[in-house]
């Protein structure tokens, strides 16, 4: 176990099982194709596993947003925009974790300007029970989680499971 980690919250096999379930539901909803828009960088591992379970013809186009900072005073800011035409396409935004909802709201507003046929959201973790069309797991608001794409200070994205950061470090990010 790494020095900053308090405990494992969601194991690798739990994540894989849940992704298979989500993929089944998403595949039923979007039979005729899809543009998947992952929000960088937290969703990289999740989206890589998710799209490999999706059978339909799909494209992936990344968007990058600065959304989280130590003081939490900033609003989300666009860092890298998408390059694909979304007009009349079914679009699914994918993010690692939904907290206040500011990030997803920002990206949804941005992409809705491109006039997609539909605009859905899929998050691996949901902290607040804010609305997302697809959510993997609900987690405690007070736990700062890392692993499986989620970072602390840029680290721990490579952990194959979701873990809770030690409380003394959590105080620094909240």
Q: Which of 10, 30, 38, 42 binds Mg ion (CB under 5 A)?
A: 42
Site string for ligand 5GP, 19-48 (x = CB under 6 A): -----------------------x------
Catalytic residue among 49, 95, 96, 99: 99
Query: Can you list the positions of beta strands (E) in the chain?
Result: 5-10, 34-40, 58-60, 63-66, 77-80, 90-98, 118-126, 134-138, 145-146, 162-165
From the list Mg ion, ligand 5GP, none, which binds 98 (C-beta under 5 to 8 Å, kind-based)?
ligand 5GP
Only one of the segments 11-19, 28-36, 38-46, 82-90 lies at the binding site for Mg ion (rule: CB under 5 A); that segment is: 38-46
Q: Which of 103-131 are b and which e, b meaning 16 or more Cβ less than 10 Å from the residue's Cβ?
A: bbebbeebbeebebeebbbbbbbbbeebe
Alpha carbon distance 150, 130 (integer Å)? 19
151 among known catalytic residues: no
Query: Does 67 contact ligand 5GP by CB under 6 A?
Result: yes
Helices (H) and strands (E) in the chain, counts: 4, 10
Site string for ligand 5GP, 117-156 (x = CB under 6 A): ----------x----------------xxx---xxx----
Query: Does 4 contact ligand 5GP by CB under 6 A?
Result: no
Alpha carbon distance 110, 117 (integer Å)? 14
Query: Does 90 contact ligand 5GP by CB under 6 A?
Result: no
* Of residues 67 and 135, the one with the C-beta less far from ligand 5GP: 67
């Amino acid at each position: 176990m790494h020095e900053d980690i308090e405990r494992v919250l969601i194991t690798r096999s739990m994540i894989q099982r849940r992704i298979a379930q989500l993929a089944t539901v998403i595949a039923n909803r979007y039979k005729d194709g899809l543009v998947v828009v992952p929000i960088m960088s937290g969703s990289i591992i999740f989206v890589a596993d998710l799209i490999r379970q999706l059978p339909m013809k799909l494209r992936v186009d990344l968007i990058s947003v600065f959304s989280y900072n130590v003081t939490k005073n900033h609003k989300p800011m666009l860092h890298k925009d998408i390059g694909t035409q979304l007009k009349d396409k079914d679009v699914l935004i994918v993010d690692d974790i939904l907290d206040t909802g500011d990030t997803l709201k920002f990206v949804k507003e941005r992409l809705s300007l491109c006039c997609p046929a539909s605009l859905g959201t899929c998050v691996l973790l949901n902290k607040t029970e804010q609305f997302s069309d697809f959510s993997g797991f609900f987690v405690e608001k007070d736990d700062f989680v890392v692993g499986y794409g989620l970072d602390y200070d840029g680290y721990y994205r490579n952990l194959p499971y979701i873990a809770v950061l030690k409380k003394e470090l959590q105080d620094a990010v909240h």
